[in-house]
Amino acid sequence: MDIMENELVSVAMQIILHAGDARIKVEIALKQAKQFNFTQAKETIQEAEECIHQAHISQTEVIQNETRGKTYEPCLLFAHAQDTLMTIMSELNLAKELIDFFEIMNNKIENN
């Protein structure tokens, strides 16, 4: 089977692209937080969450299709896409906690 005939390739690329966009937004949000721009950082995190949501939609469609009995040829690129998505979701979760922590610490310092 030609790689381009494998429909998982296009799904994998969508997941990787959306997850990559999320990673860029997470990096931007952390830089904004380091500049004490917490409102903008949280807005950028929301943008990253939307990118993750879009990637997750693509992944979920494949999973739901498999539960309905559709089979797919194995695709290393799809496995890589899922790994990428999970990694960036973890980065996003950690970044949200860090931004909250930075904001709490900044507020404590300003109020003393």
- Per the prediction, the chain carries an average pLDDT of 94
CB of 11 within 8 A of CB of 61?
A: yes
What is the C-alpha to C-alpha distance for residues 42 and 95, in angstroms, rounded to an integer? 10
**Residue 34 pLDDT:** 97
pLDDT bracket for residue 85 (50, 70, 90)? very high
Does the pLDDT of residue 73 top 90, yes or no? no
For the chain, the domains span 3-107
Q: Regarding the domain delimited by 3-107, which CATH topology (the fold level of the hierarchy) does it fall under?
A: Methane Monooxygenase Hydroxylase; Chain G, domain 1 (1.20.58)
Q: Yes or no: say if 99 and 29 are a contact pair by the CB < 8 Å rule.
A: yes
How many Å apart are CA 24 and CA 34, to the nearest integer?
A: 16
Residues 96 and 41: their CA atoms lie apart, in Å, by 9
- On whether 21 is known to bind a ligand per the annotation, the reply is no
Residues with active-site annotation: 80
In whole angstroms, what is the distance from residue 56 CA to residue 69 CA? 20
